Amino acid sequence: MITGKNFIGFTPSANGTKTYKTFNPQTNVENEDVFTEATSEEINQAVALATEAFKTFSKTSGTDKAAFLNAIADEIMALETLVETYCKESGLPEGRAMGERGRTVGQLRAFANLVTEGSWVEATIDTAQPAREPMPKPDLRKMNIGLGPVVVFGASNFPLAYSTAGGDTAAALAAGCPVIVKSHPMHAGTGELIASAVIKAAKKTNMPDGVFSNINSSGIEVGQQLVSHPGVKAVGFTGSIRGGRALYDLAGQREEPIPVFAEMGSVNPVVMLPKALEEKSEAWAKTYASSITLGTGQFCTNPGLLFGVKSDALTQFVDVLAKEIVEIAPSCMLHPNIKGAYDKNKDRALQQEAITVVANYEGDVKPNYAQQTVITVDGATFLENTTLHQELFGPFSMVVQCESLEELEHIIYKLEGQLTGTLLAAEGEAETCPEIVNAVQNRVGRIIFNGVPTGVEVCPAMVHGGPYPASTDSRFTAVGTQSIKRWVRPFSYQDWPENLLPEALQDANPLGVLRLVNGVETRDKI
């Protein structure tokens, strides 16, 4: 049952007076449940509990953390009204809800496996050399440890996989960091249900009170207070550049600055090489009509920019894309505000000089349904007008028609940082233009060959991040088990007694983890 309360640690709490409701974009009416925004005192309590919980949770064994993470996954699967609530708060279809739930549970279990195996701590041991001249060498042993309480901002476009118990939360808990979730107001009920599953799992597996809190809010003040709080040691965020940047700046102004790992806007350039289009322009156009409209274009990896060199094949690509994309039935956006932003930003794009609208769904649509649009522009105009470089969240894409591959390369270098880049190439064609591949690599976190950027695999080799503003720190990924590295710091023990060392650093290596011992990777004991 949804109560509308916050979880301050294990305790449901609603001491505030500011309330709000979620909205069903499919029916275009407010949902019934009433949520109470957290007060300053409740936020302080949540941080105080997390600070206390960190003392023991940071020392919890991998096996016990794995039991907690697996129990969260089990409790999520046992939630009876989750899918229904998800759909009525997001307008997304049931199939997507179930898929995202599967991904969320899969992420939790992947982190459980990671901490059970244990090598993620990157144990590094340099044994002492007492006889070294002119100075003896001390014994040094390094491993990763948790940063402290982490605040996670739920994402509007992934109510499960990037929200309450999504990737950021799973990674932070795996690292031994208590998590305080700033629930996304558009899906507060989904968030509360998931939070109840996390709390149940925490109690069942004897985790400390405060290991997890869920904070309701309908305005930016709650997030600001959380990010400014001295007890908070890191922040995870997915959303707009404006929101992410504001929080990043706020964290930097604190007396003790803290890292904000914000995953923000991306237009995901696709470079279509000439021969690829000569051979398969029609097939690629059909594929991209689907990719641009997938999930109503509300994916951070949505292909918003398509680059080609002017040719008959590029013209054919544009013609087929324009024809195919308006054949696809429009779908619902997450919230009237997201739809409003789409319409406003699209209007602004359509008002730019020297652009051509080649496809614009003209049929009637239900409220909150988005009309898909494709425009074209030449390379020189695009280069000059940086308004056209901005993310347009929704089923929109722009084909940039360049004069030459040299112009295309030049433009790619001028793009802001991106999550992904895609290369469409015929057999042997990519080898002929390494400079284009270099340009794309310079601007993105992941490069895709002959595919589409939508669809993000969750695995250790995934990089979901990229140069700013795709993310605030391109050295880290937000997806996959390597994302745990955002929530840890390296820590060294010097000449520390064997019996006081964590197991991963003890001579006997009781956990059997992979370690770097005197420069050699091994699972052997010392």
Catalytic residues: 263, 300
Give helix then strand counts, H and E, for the chain.
Answer: 14, 23
Residue 150: in which H helix or E strand, if any? strand 150-153
Closest CA to 209 of 446, 495, 10: 10
Of 31 and 157, the one with the shorter C-beta distance to ligand NAP is: 157
Q: Which stretch binds ligand NAP (CB under 6 A): 103-111, 148-156, 286-294, 485-493?
A: 148-156
Which backbone phi and psi does 517 adopt, to 5 degrees? -110, 115
Of 161 and 433, the one with the shorter C-beta distance to ligand NAP is: 161
Least Cβ distance, residue 106 to ligand NAP (angstroms): 20
Among 45, 157, 216, 401, binds ligand NAP (CB under 6 A): 157
Q: Which stretch binds ligand NAP (CB under 6 A): 70-78, 213-221, 420-428, 502-510?
A: 213-221
Is 153 one of the binding residues for ligand NAP (CB under 6 A)?
yes
- Beta-bridge partners for 449: 423
Of 65 and 335, the one with the shorter C-beta distance to ligand NAP is: 335
Length of the chain: 526
Site for ligand NAP in 176-195 (CB under 6 A): 182, 184-185
Q: Which stretch binds ligand NAP (CB under 6 A): 155-163, 165-173, 253-261, 308-316?
A: 155-163
Least Cβ distance, residue 419 to ligand NAP (angstroms): 8
The interaxial angle of helices 312-325 and 274-293, nearest 10 deg, is: 10
Among 224, 315, 450, 474, binds ligand NAP (CB under 6 A): 224
Q: Which stretch binds ligand NAP (CB under 6 A): 69-77, 217-225, 424-432, 478-486?
A: 217-225
- The DSSP letter of residue 365 is -
Is 446 one of the binding residues for ligand NAP (CB under 6 A)?
no
Least Cβ distance, residue 268 to ligand NAP (angstroms): 10
Is 220 one of the binding residues for ligand NAP (CB under 6 A)?
yes
CA dist 247 and 228 (Å) reads: 9
Site for ligand NAP in 270-329 (CB under 6 A): 300
Of 325 and 334, the one with the shorter C-beta distance to ligand NAP is: 334
Is 393 one of the binding residues for ligand NAP (CB under 6 A)?
yes
Tell me the C-alpha to C-alpha distance, in Å, between residue 459 and each of 53, 76, 120, 425, 464.
29, 21, 14, 26, 11
Is 417 one of the binding residues for ligand NAP (CB under 6 A)?
no
Q: Which stretch binds ligand NAP (CB under 6 A): 5-13, 63-71, 243-251, 473-481?
A: 243-251
Is 239 one of the binding residues for ligand NAP (CB under 6 A)?
yes
- The DSSP letter of residue 325 is H
Q: Which stretch binds ligand NAP (CB under 6 A): 26-34, 190-198, 200-208, 235-243?
A: 235-243
Among 166, 236, 265, 303, binds ligand NAP (CB under 6 A): 265
Is 243 one of the binding residues for ligand NAP (CB under 6 A)?
yes
Q: Which stretch binds ligand NAP (CB under 6 A): 154-162, 284-292, 374-382, 442-450?
A: 154-162
| Strand order across the beta sheet in which 234-238 lies | 11-13, 6-8, 212-215, 179-182, 150-153, 234-238, 260-263
Is 156 one of the binding residues for ligand NAP (CB under 6 A)?
yes
Among 48, 140, 328, 341, binds ligand NAP (CB under 6 A): 341
Least Cβ distance, residue 36 to ligand NAP (angstroms): 14
Tell me the C-alpha to C-alpha distance, in Å, between residue 222 and each of 36, 42, 121, 388, 406.
12, 10, 33, 33, 48
Which backbone phi and psi does 400 adopt, to 5 degrees? -100, 115
CA dist 66 and 170 (Å) reads: 10
- The DSSP letter of residue 371 is P
Least Cβ distance, residue 393 to ligand NAP (angstroms): 3
What is the residue whose two structure tokens read 């669809």?
Answer: 455
- The DSSP letter of residue 59 is T
Of 141 and 182, the one with the shorter C-beta distance to ligand NAP is: 182
Is 219 one of the binding residues for ligand NAP (CB under 6 A)?
yes
Which backbone phi and psi does 154 adopt, to 5 degrees? -65, 145
Among 246, 314, 440, 462, binds ligand NAP (CB under 6 A): 246
| Strand order across the beta sheet in which 444-449 lies | 355-360, 373-378, 396-402, 305-309, 269-272, 418-424, 444-449
Cα torsion angle, 178, 180, 184, 188, sign? positive
Least Cβ distance, residue 54 to ligand NAP (angstroms): 23
Cα angle for residues 276, 281, 283 (degrees, 5° grid) = 110
Least Cβ distance, residue 246 to ligand NAP (angstroms): 3
Give the pairing type, strands 418-424 and 269-272: parallel
Provide the binding-site residues for ligand NAP, judged by CB under 6 A: 153, 155-157, 182, 184-185, 217-220, 223-224, 238-240, 243, 246-247, 265-266, 300, 338, 341, 393
